[in-house]
Amino acid sequence: MGSAFLAIRQFLGRGRRQRTREQLARLREEYRVRCRSFRLLVKANHEALAALADLEELRRAGRPFGMARIRALSVRGLMAGFQMVRQLNRMAPGTYEELFTSLASVQTSVDAVLRRPAAESCPDNVLPLDRLTRQCSRETGGKLARLGEARQRMGIHIPEGFVITASACRRFLDHNDLPQEIDRLLQTTENSSMAGLYELSSTLRSMILRAEVPSGLRVDMQDQLTRMQALSPDPLRLAVRSSALGEDVAGASFAGQFHTELNVPSEHVEDAFKAVVASKYGPAALAYRFHRGIRDSDVDMSVGCMEMVSARVGGVLYTRDPLHPEQDCLHISAVFGLPQAIVDGSAVCDRFVVSRCGRRIVERHVAHKEWRTVCHPGEGTVLEEAVASEQDVPCLTDGQIVALVGMGLRLEEIFGAAQDVEWIIREDGAIALLQCRDLHFPALPEESDAAESAPEELERHPLREPLLRGGVTASAGAAAGVAVAVRSDADALRFPEQAVLVARSARPRWAPLLSRAAAVITEHGASAGHLASVAREYGVPALFSLPGALDGLAEQLDRGAVITVDADRGAVYAGKVEPLLRRPPVRGLMFGSPVHHCLEGVLEHLAPLNLDNPDARSFAPENCRTLHDVLRYCHEMGVREMFCMEPRSGLEKGVSRRLVDGVPLQYWVVDLEDGLEAPEDSDLRTVDIADVRCRPMLALWEGMQAVVWRGPPAVNAGGLVSVMVRSVSDPGLAEGAASPYAVRNYFLISREYCSLQSRFGYHFCTVEAVLGQDPEENYVIFQFKGGAADWERRIRRARLVGDVLEDYGFLVELKEDALYARREGADARTMDALLRVVGYLVVHTRQLDMIMGDSAEVARVDEQIRTDLAEIGARAAGIPPPAGDGTSRRIKGD
């Protein structure tokens, strides 16, 4: 403060008014830094810790979350950390610069985890289908690579065609500057709502559909199309299919999420290609990735362009029963025409079950097949009425069934796992392979006693008659919920959590709803469809092909009544049928996912606390290895800076005004900013307490004068009494002649801030507080030290006051005879009460050290303090004080 004195001296000789103004400006600036900085530091500390807590909460994976949430919380935490470092450096310039470096290195580590991993690039834009092997799958996706391999190793027919590589797809997006914009949109709208999801999806897809195909890719595609056309006498028609990379991530199937365009003329292949790339951002795909914790960067698209082969019969073959993988049989679903309708879950189809060993057909379900899908003469496919004579005959001969089974088992052998195979039988009778991938099995629910006891319980409580019976089990289990019909996208948007979805067909577009549905019922659709596989993945019980479900449940749907679906036994009941409701399947789908893994990686750099002991030598900026370390360090040091800053000696003098409450008091007030009602007028020498509008000062003042100080305690060492200043809390006793040890008591105030420096004799204390509407910015710190009595007594006093403060939730530290107490983050009401307590203690502990020799006296004082504080508290809360106890105390005010 020496410089302050110099500065003041320089002012001498100028006009008083000018000097006062400059002095006040200096003082204000000093306090602005001190108060604002600490206030912002405390606030940032809250914000950063809240972000850490939210991240920790995500880690438990109770609910799905995406990269956007992790990124937002990490940035929030790191920004708040930066704010703390910045404010700490403002409070003590130059002392804590190293923290910027520590924080920057935490930030670098976090960025590295969150960054989109760079993909390896391959120069080829296109690769011919029949030359692919599984080694190509990084560029072509597993599905298409398998087609090439099946062709080469087994001589199986596959359609002529080529793949547009994942690298080419990325170059296509880069060429149009899309990746950054996509990231931004994903960050902005992650999982906001169902409506938000649809909107995001439509924005992203239309961006891609509008984009331009780079000329290199266009030329390569054209070359391939020319090559294919040369092999075919008819005008070339293509099937343009997605083949996503990353389908193996965390056992994810991506069933039915991406676009396929059938029967495309070669001049429209470019548009179909864009549509397939865009389908990475279809609503079902976005929702699926979000719920499975798959990052956008984990999935890359490649696009297969294959000659369209017209099919006599088409279908899907599972080399195991997805619901009962242990059973020794294959399942075939088949229709006349293209198999599209089976895949879409909308078709009524023939089903055959074949034993794996012996290849015997053990079950045969021949459906009434009214419709079939065929290529439209122009473009695309159409449903047409099937030939009447074919509607009720099986679409496969036994020979064809056995041939399909043979192919399936060989594919299984080559690829080393049960397969999900999409096939057709061409007009010429040859089997062709359209797609093939590993078959997904639902995560088996942990079989428990509950499950086993269910049948027994059912016997004890016979069930009422079901509303509906029948259907095909698409996903096992039973569940209850409100019945909700979904007929349109608008219905989908309104679909509530934990309801039972009732729909006409098992369309893949309802897949996003499965994260919210309790169960699914459809009138059409097979267990081989996409929706079924998504239902299994989510563990949502699903009953498909239940005829007349919408009509049969019309009453329940109208009323929004609860129904119970028993997908295992093919029955739907009114109300909640408890015995059927086994434990709901565990859905901890996020565990082990890339997003969850990423979260773990981020937390590793943010959450652990290494600096746990502020007194240790290792408590230093260079040892801050995580965000949490930085927060801890900044907060500790911020508090220390506040406690250690010596009060200014002198600067206040010229700019302060004496406090008057009827009579002049021994307190002076400096208005830093907005702390007084009346407009500032530097000619005034006094401040009336009625004009003070600084909330923390008023609360403090209430506490200070709530109970009249009984004066210096009676002590034997009479000599010491001479240095005492008499109470200033009693205006009648305002002391004119200060002792040489007494300095004035200053309140430095703004509207929400107050600093009180007070010195009585040898006794020195400061209170500093912010009391505003935002609890996160509020704090009060209180310290005192010194005293006139001997060391032991002073320590005892500090302990006594510390105990009292701890009871009021303060964090208290005692260092010898000094006491440091603080409390942060309390709401305005609590702060008000705390400041009253502190105010009382400021006045009433002044010379307590004098009497601290006698333990009986200590106990008496302790009790007195607590009684007084209880009374002050009750008064503040509007409760009348207990009846007078006959002591000499009087409560001020009414």
Partner 1 sequence: MSKIKVLIVDDEQDFVKLFVKRFVMRNLDVEGVTSGQQALEYLRENAVDVVVLDVKMPGMDGLETLQEIKKRHPVVEVIMLTGHGSVKSGIQGISLGAYDYVLKPFKIEDLLERILKAYERSRLNRGR
Q: Decide if 504 contacts 522 (C-beta within 8 A).
A: yes
Question: Pairing between strand 329-336 and 311-318?
Answer: antiparallel
By the rule CB under 8 A, 72 interacts with partner 1: yes
Helices 98-114 and 594-606: angle between axes, nearest 10 degrees: 170
Least distance from partner 1 to the Cβ atom of residue 83, Å: 7
Of 20 and 187, the one with the shorter C-beta distance to partner 1 is 187
DSSP state letter for 891: B
Which of 23, 102, 107, 201 forms a contact with partner 1 (CB under 8 A)?
107
- The mark string for 723-762 relative to partner 1 (x by CB under 8 A, - otherwise) is ----------------------------------------
* Assigned token pair, 615: 């007194």
Least distance from partner 1 to the Cβ atom of residue 883, Å: 45
Question: Which residues between 665 and 724 bind partner 1 (CB under 8 A)?
Answer: 673-674
Q: Which stretch binds partner 1 (CB under 8 A): 78-86, 291-299, 555-563, 788-796?
A: 78-86
Least distance from partner 1 to the Cβ atom of residue 595, Å: 16
Least distance from partner 1 to the Cβ atom of residue 727, Å: 36
Of 71 and 530, the one with the shorter C-beta distance to partner 1 is 71
**How many C-beta atoms surround the C-beta of residue 500 within 10 A?**
27
**How many C-beta atoms surround the C-beta of residue 730 within 10 A?**
16
Which of 75, 708, 715, 723 forms a contact with partner 1 (CB under 8 A)?
75
Question: Which residues between 131 and 190 bind partner 1 (CB under 8 A)?
Answer: 180, 183-185, 187-190
Per-residue three-class SS string for 672-703: EECCECCCCCCCCCEEEHHHECCHHHHHHHHH
Of 43 and 635, the one with the shorter C-beta distance to partner 1 is 43
Q: Residue 41 corresponds to which amino acid?
A: L
Of 78 and 478, the one with the shorter C-beta distance to partner 1 is 78
Of 186 and 535, the one with the shorter C-beta distance to partner 1 is 186
**How many C-beta atoms surround the C-beta of residue 5 within 10 A?**
13
Give Cβ neighbours of residue 351 (< 8 Å, ≥ 6 apart). 331, 332, 333, 334, 363, 364, 365, 367, 526
Strands (E), 678-827: 686-688, 745-750, 753-760, 763-770, 779-786, 811-815, 818-824
Given the structure tokens 């097949």, which residue do they identify?
369
* Assigned token pair, 357: 């060993």
3 state DSSP class of 625: coil
By the rule CB under 8 A, 82 interacts with partner 1: yes
Q: Decide if 528 contacts 545 (C-beta within 8 A).
A: no
* Assigned token pair, 320: 């195991």
Which of 110, 225, 348, 756 forms a contact with partner 1 (CB under 8 A)?
110
Per the DSSP assignment, residues forming a β-bridge with 785 are 764
By the rule CB under 8 A, 866 interacts with partner 1: no
- The mark string for 770-789 relative to partner 1 (x by CB under 8 A, - otherwise) is ----x---------------
Least distance from partner 1 to the Cβ atom of residue 165, Å: 28
Which of 78, 228, 309, 468 forms a contact with partner 1 (CB under 8 A)?
78
Buried b (16+ CB within 10 A) or exposed e, 367-399: bebebbbbbeeeeebeeeebeeeeeeebbbeee
Which of 71, 369, 437, 657 forms a contact with partner 1 (CB under 8 A)?
71
Report DSSP letters for 75-143, one per residue.
HHHHHHHHHHHHHHHHHSTTTSTHHHHHHHHHHHHHHHHHSPPPPP--S-SEEEGGG--GGGHHHHHHH
Of 72 and 723, the one with the shorter C-beta distance to partner 1 is 72
By the rule CB under 8 A, 86 interacts with partner 1: yes
By the rule CB under 8 A, 68 interacts with partner 1: yes
Least distance from partner 1 to the Cβ atom of residue 106, Å: 9
Q: Which stretch binds partner 1 (CB under 8 A): 69-77, 88-96, 400-408, 486-494?
A: 69-77
Of 39 and 171, the one with the shorter C-beta distance to partner 1 is 39
By the rule CB under 8 A, 528 interacts with partner 1: no
* Assigned token pair, 527: 């267990």
Q: Which stretch binds partner 1 (CB under 8 A): 57-65, 104-112, 648-656, 779-787?
A: 104-112
Distance between CA atoms of residues 890 and 883, nearest Å: 12
Q: Which stretch binds partner 1 (CB under 8 A): 56-64, 80-88, 837-845, 856-864?
A: 80-88
Question: Which residues between 181 and 220 bind partner 1 (CB under 8 A)?
Answer: 183-185, 187-190, 192
3 state DSSP class of 620: coil
Give the binding site for partner 1 (CB under 8 A).
68, 71-72, 74-76, 78-79, 82-83, 86, 107, 110-111, 180, 183-185, 187-190, 192, 673-674, 774
